[in-house]
Structure 1
Amino acid sequence: MLRVIFLIIGICVIILALSFVFKKHARTILWSSAITLFAGTLLLIGIGVINPVGEDKTGSVEFWGAIITLISGAALAFCAEKLKEKNNGKITEVKNEALIEDSKQEENPVCNEGEVVLPKILDTYTARKVFAKAIEAGYIMECGSFYKWNNSKVLLAYMCGRIYCGDKPNYSKIEEKTFWKFGRQDMFPDAELKVLFQIQDLGQSRANRKDAIVPFKSEEIDKFFE
């Protein structure tokens, strides 16, 4: 009896470990495992391989093994749905954060006379192309010797991550969501971008969103790279 219990517990631990390692597919792993346990147990009972109630075997290993397996399957399904609720909560929080950032009226920096000159570390072909399109689309305003960004900080961090670090949007067919996939993590020119846009902690804003859902309006930024 103890062998069966420990075997089932071991299987559940392995399933939970896999769902932890592959976080993006955790819900799929949990539901697949739950269905497999349910269907497998019922199928074995149906074809007679397991006979938990025959000849008054309600106290047998087969009986309790089947019960514990079904309970474990139900527990995994419950965990999968709780995970879905948690993810939906995170999505709502991210959207609200983006909307709040978009609605904030940031203090306008004083525009000085001058011309924006990109420092060498920022002056790349991709940067010039994307900045030009962002200016045309109204996301950036030339403000003397620096740029003024007209949207959320996290969206600027996303754009600069794509320009200078090779970040990419990664669509998951299973989750049906697009995630922020980092490129080179140690190449983000935070100090230079702070001077260029007069915005602090862009690097931290980017780091906080590793493997998270892409920020609001990221699709419009992606068009600048086409």
Structure 2
Amino acid sequence: MAEPLIIALPKGRILKEALPLLARAGIVPEPAFHDEASRALKFATSHRDVELIRVRSFDAATFVAFGAAALGIVGNDVLLEFAYPELYAPIDLGIGHCRLSVADHADAPPITGETASHLRIATKYPRLTQAHFAARGIQAECIKLNGAMELAPLLGLAPRIVDLVSTGATLRENGLVEREVILDVTSRLVVNRAASKTDARVSVLVEALRRAVGDAAAA
């Protein structure tokens, strides 16, 4: 009997939005998946050929790219930041809407190529950040942080940040202003290219999730 296919799911808000789509595709996790006290890392589902793992959003892409999971759910921000050639993203799931934006203090000077040839920016997206500013002739020196990005301007680590923004409430509460949008973000179904060629079950799952997304949009 073939090993179950693994789907890598990101923790947090996207997970809550993804579960109804998975249920429409006939994939319902076992009760332990919802138990916050559980230390389990891999979970069975109602689909005998599918198991789930719950990981950090950046790690979901890595698990799929290196074949530890056959499929996953990943924001297009992560896809573009890592640019793994082993991945392809056949479906925009239409969930996890947010944006990758530049933010700084309200009294910070505007960013232009004439006045700022070099910027120091705190972010967990150095690739996207550097590419965005390089297109304007500005060199971005990126300080890599994985959280609490808003502290960087407050404590003098970097005057600007590039981070995901949903409502903007966290920025406002920390005295920051959203200046420009680098990327509009939604979550995608990602697939390991090798797995899609060697295991016919992968394409069956992809089509089931494609129908689930269509059904959800029509509901």
Tell me the TM-score range normalised by the shorter chain.
Answer: under 0.3
TM-score by length of 2: 0.24
Question: Relative contact order, CA 8 A, sep 6+: which one is greater?
Answer: 2
Structure with the largest fraction of helix: 1
Greater Rg, structure 1 or structure 2?
1
Under a length normalisation based on structure 1, what TM-score does the superposition of the two structures give? 0.23
